[in-house]
Every structure is written in C-alpha cells, then in structure tokens.
Amino acid sequence: MFGLGTPELIVIGVIVFLIFGAKRIPEIGKGLGGAIREFRDARKEISGHTPRQGEKEGSKKETSVESKIAEKVVNQVPGIKQVMGVKDKVDKVKELMKS
C-alpha cells in the first residue's frame, strides 16, 4: 500500500488524531465516504452514458455531473466550505493586486 508499513500508518494516525481530535474524525470519515460514494455513482452514470444522435461527447451532462460532485464534496466534508471561502477571498485580493 504505497510503501507504507505499520509504523508509518500508526504515526499518520496519531498525527491525524492530534490535529482533528476524537470528535471530528468520525465526521471527516463520514464526509469522505459520502464523497467517494457520490464519485463512484457519477462515474457509473458517465460510463453508462452513450451519446445520442446529434449529441457530442463531453456534453453539458458531464459538466453538470462534475458540478454535482463538487457540490456534494463541499457540503459533506467538514471544513471544505471554510477553505473554499478563504480561497475565494485570496483570489479577490490577487485580482485587486493585479489592477
């Protein structure tokens, strides 16, 4: 598994425990599990989708599926909304600095 042994996984687990605490770890796991489930469902939907006559590959349907996945991840994984808000603020400041 990526060249990680038992001691490395234990160290990573302890660091995650110290950073997030015991109460947040189940929430994060639940959010990540939901995001992974949604990704798999969307991937199945995309792979099962065959373009109809007159419909181009890479149509708007795939874009809407991607946006649905992104929205689900933002809503399900704790802390992502805050990170995205900070990213938006940083992008605005960068834009102001360019002007």
The domain spans of the chain are 6-98
Q: How many CB atoms lie within 10 A of CB 42?
A: 16
Q: What is the pLDDT of residues 26-76, one digit of tens each?
A: 888 888 888 888 888 888 877 775 455 555 554 445 567 777 777 777 777
CA atoms within 13 A on the CB side of 80: 14
Q: Is the pTM of this model over 0.75?
A: no
**How far, in Å, are 3, 84, 93 from residue 89 at the CA level?**
38, 9, 6
Q: What is the pLDDT of residues 78-88, one digit of tens each?
A: 777 777 788 88
